[in-house]
Amino acid sequence: MTRYINDKIQLAKDIMIRKCNEHGYFRGHECPDCGDNGRYVLDDDREERLGRFISGSLRHFPDDVGLNMDQQGWVNLDLLCDIMESRYRWATGERLNALIESDIKIRYEVEGSRIRARYGHSINIDLDYPENELAYLYYGVSLEEVDMLLENGIMPLRQRYVHLSTSYRKANEAASIHTDNPVIIEIDAGDAQQDGLFFMTVNIDIVLADDVPPEYLSIVEAQE
């Protein structure tokens, strides 16, 4: 019985982040590229705790943890690791790297000796990603919100930027976290950018803007 319980505990720990020698870090039981079980790196509970700390440090309260952030959101990677390891004895540079590289939402980026969050900031920064190239973007809202947004435009709520989706599907997924029957607004990004608004591409799913005036918004019908 003891062995059975220990096996169950180990299985639960193995769910989160592992490393395949050939294909790198992945989340789940098997490498999605080759099916290898890989090596255990980080369990579910520690992944959540470390993720919350990194998210808070890079998006919301860098000063509180002792980080000096520049205007583009970058902080020193070694210093972040030192602070992280002093708070969590089990935290290591490899586990931070595993958290970042296995993240399907592509929340963070590392460039040389510095690291930053790609999106989700509540602090006043000015990100410097390339201009969006898509003609249309999407934003999901509840039925109760849609008329207000169509009249007043989309403005950031508790965040530095408005977060727009690059596809109807992604907007629907994001909005479904907060409402059961989201309404999807289509943004005419092409016209908006021709009129001087700036939209920047963060990753394959997310585009950021300071705000979106109402004249570029319309409700779009459901798409497959």
Predicted confidence at residue 73, as pLDDT, reads 98
**What pLDDT digit, counting tens, does each position of 147-182 carry?**
999 999 999 989 999 999 999 999 999 999 989 889
* DSSP 8-state code for residue 171: H
For the chain, list the domains and their CATH numbers: 2-117 (1.10.10.970), 136-219 (3.20.170.30)
Q: How far apart are CA 218 and CA 150, in angstroms?
A: 7
Q: Where are the alpha helices (DSSP H) in the chain?
A: 2-14, 44-59, 62-65, 77-87, 93-101, 143-152, 168-176, 189-194
SS3 of 73, please?
coil
Question: Which one, of 210, 194, 198, 207, lies nearest residue 137 by Cα?
Answer: 207
Q: pTM of the full predicted structure?
A: 0.87
Residue segments in the chain with a per-residue pLDDT below the cut of 70: 1-15, 223-224
Predicted confidence at residue 68, as pLDDT, reads 97
Rounded to the nearest 10 degrees, the angle between the axes of helix 44-59 and helix 77-87 is 130
Predicted confidence at residue 5, as pLDDT, reads 32
Token code pair at residue 139: 């934003």
Predicted confidence at residue 115, as pLDDT, reads 98
The DSSP bridge partners found for residue 17 are 27, 42
